[in-house]
Amino acid sequence: MSKKNRVTDEEALSYHLEPTPGKLEINASTPMATQRDLSLAYSPGVAVPVEAIAENPELAYDYTTKGNMVAVISNGTAILGLGNLGALASKPVMEGKSVLFKRFADVNSIDLELDTEDPDEFINAVRLMGPSFGGINLEDIKAPECFIIEQRLREEMDIPVFHDDQHGTAVICAAGLLNALHLTGKKIEDCKIVLNGAGAAGIACIELIKAMGAKHDNCIVCDTKGVIFQGRTEGMNQWKSAHAANTKERTLEEAMTGADVFLGVSAKGAVTQDMVKSMADNPVIFAMANPDPEITPEDAHEVRPDAIVATGRSDYPNQVNNVLCFPYLFRGALDIRARTINDAMKIACAEALAKLAREDVPDEVAVAYGQKLTFGRDYIIPTPFDPRLIYTIPPAVAQAGIETGVSRKAIVDFDAYTVALRSRMDPTASMLEGLHNRARTKNARMIFAEGDDIRVLRAAVSYQRSGLGQALVVGREDDVKEKLTAAGLADAYRELTIVNARNTEHLETYRSFLYSRLQRKGYDAQDVHRLASRDRHVFSALMLAHGHGDGLITGATRKSAHVLELLNHVLDVSPKDGAVGVTALLRNGRIVLIADTLVHEWPDENTLADIAERGAATARSLGLEPRVAFVSFSTFGYPVSERAEKMHIAPKVLDSRGVDFEYDGEMTVDVAMNPDVLAQYPFCRLSGPANVLVVPARHSSSISVKLMQEMGGATVIGPILSGVDHPVQICSTTSSTNDILNMAVMAACNVG
């Protein structure tokens, strides 16, 4: 794991414990409020689909969750790199895999842990559960049992059975290899390919590559005993024997001589620089051992600058990451009600991934990763958070399944299918991940003003350990150490930088600066000294103003209005300075910004226009194309009310300014956000539901946000302080550790 993104035991356990144990829950997708609802959901209404399915089993895909439900199943005999720890210990991993299915491809998933190491018992248990699911994802099962289990289940079941440890790695490896060979001008059938590691993933990689055109005797497979050659008897089994080559080479070192491609799914350090030196021109090296590769990209490039290198790690270019495959492969398979996932579908997945990496990368992806990504030696595999994956990979998989006759359902209109896939995307997750990636690129020194609060300290630790930048905590050393120790984070004390008036060399500079700002506002030198040396909010703002930090997070322990007043002693964050508070609400895959939620009490039409511009700018900094609605209790002039008049006039103010974003108003919230209601007003200038709502007053924004948070279950980020010269963000007193961390990320990215 990268040292810049460290996860401690305490953080990992806390993540899985809070807010409720585990990582997933089950929610009803139909109304359950009335007795009639329950009568339809269960008895007597449920008898109707029961009889229909009994008569025609295919209707189970229409009347139940079967068609969008995958079981993630393990017996815990090969958990990650930890070995055989048993079925129960594998549950956190299987829950995690289920979450990834939902997060990336909107596939419902449930984890099942089977307490047996007997392949026959395992096979029988899974086979008997077949009617419940549209597909089976096998996970963390040791070799060679995984080969036996998958093969038997594929023969005995009429739904896709896919061992991701084998085939997920193989598909991503194949996609990267296609592009690496494209760059080097080599053909797969001409390449000498060396594989080190003859376990589940290795065997799957070499089988898929051979299916794509690599020649049998050009593929040299090695294990811990050396080359697998024809006639070898030691340490062999039927799966290894199938890949025994006609060769005189006996060691990995011999095999690497003249090799065009190295594929590693083995162990750290298995490949030396001398081995890399002996490879052919423009060698391709996929060192996929985790967490440490067979050889690091630095060591490989030191001796062979012409090498194209991929690893399994996120802190190096060209990450071979299974999440690029299994969610989208199953998405396509489920949507055609496939009976199996065959080689053609896996190859289609690999080819679609390879093609995607060769296309221009959207600006939103470049912004998210803080760099322009262009197809080349350091970008041969798409990034896991590329939003195009959901509507690019499944159609290719589905098409291959239909053409090879394993589908129960044809897709007639692939254009419509692509549009439907786009609608499954969850922009909230992509937005947050993009911001975190941008923050890592910025590597900002973040000032956490309230080091006496454990939530703030946890957020500071997470900020630093996530590789986002340096955390500067304002507080007393002994107090910070005591609180971190009590929270099980004693080792973090040495990592954080603790700052206060007692240990800074800049206090006199701070006092002089503050006195120059406040001397004509009723503050004498003694008042200024107290503020600079004793008030953590003012002290932190002084640090930021003098460039002794790159961003500031405060407000977790004091009311925002009071904190804003203190900050104004040092920074220009008042209404007259153009400051605006914009709160982001994230719910059910939608993002809506509400403004102003912090600064302006009762804005007039001109100020409302200012707020709209700041809200639009914030939306764009979050990767959204703004559609602004001035919301009210009236819609386009009715009912007539003096209190709604300013919301009617504000769009006309924007008309005179010639802004470059969509806006309209006044309108009620349902008109602004519900496409069906909006369609009743064809003259409205919004092309779709609004994502920035400008509200009449701060009290209405506060009510709206808190109501959505408490009743609607929305995730609230903000208020994001926009329109100010310094990257400062103010949390609320009810903020969780994660909320504070999100605000730190906003400050690091200078959102607003």
Q: Tell me which residues are annotated as active site.
A: 97
Q: Residues 6 or more apart from 54 whose CB is under 8 A from it?
A: none
Q: Is 179 exposed, middle or buried (0-12, 13-18, 19+ CB in 10 A)?
A: buried
Partner residues linked to 742 by β-bridges: none
Of 645, 738, 732, 132, which Cα lies nearest the Cα of 458?
738
Q: DSSP for 300-327?
A: HHHH-TT-EEEES-TTSSSB--GGGTHH
The amino acid at residue 458 is R
Which residue numbers belong to the known binding site for NADP(+)?
A: 79-86
Burial 504-540 (b: 16+ CB within 10 A, else e): bebbeebbebbbebbeeeebeeeebbebbbebbbbbb
Give 3-state DSSP helix, strand, coil % of the chain, rounded to 5: 45, 15, 40
Q: Residues 6 or more apart from 229 whose CB is under 8 A from it?
A: 244, 245, 246, 247, 248, 249, 250
Centre a 10 Å sphere on the Cβ of residue 655 and count the other Cβ atoms it contains. Answer: 11
Of 317, 304, 301, 330, which Cα lies nearest the Cα of 179?
317
Which residue numbers belong to the known binding site?
A: 79-86, 139-140, 165, 290
Hey, is 646 helix, strand or coil?
A: helix
| 482 Cα distance to chain centroid | 34
CA dist., res. 247 & res. 114, Å (int): 42
CA dist., res. 692 & res. 628, Å (int): 5
CA dist., res. 229 & res. 249, Å (int): 8
Residue 743 tokens read as 């605000």
Cis before residue 19, ω within 30 degrees of 0?
A: yes
Partner residues linked to 137 by β-bridges: 72, 162
CA dist., res. 588 & res. 733, Å (int): 25
Helix (H) or strand (E) holding 109: strand 108-113
Q: Residues 6 or more apart from 3 whose CB is under 8 A from it?
A: none
Centre a 10 Å sphere on the Cβ of residue 656 and count the other Cβ atoms it contains. Answer: 8
Torsion angle defined by CA atoms of residues 515, 516, 520 and 525, in that order, rounded to the nearest 10 degrees:
20
Residue 464 tokens read as 């630093």
What's the first-to-final CA gap in the chain, in angstroms?
Answer: 33
Q: Pairing between strand 580-587 and 715-722? A: antiparallel
Hey, is 379 helix, strand or coil?
A: strand
CA dist., res. 625 & res. 367, Å (int): 14
What string of H, E and C letters represents the secondary structure of 413-472? CHHHHHHHHHHCCCHHHHHHHHHHHHHHHHCEEEEECCCCCHHHHHHHHHHHHCCCEEEE
CB 315 within 8 A of CB 367: no
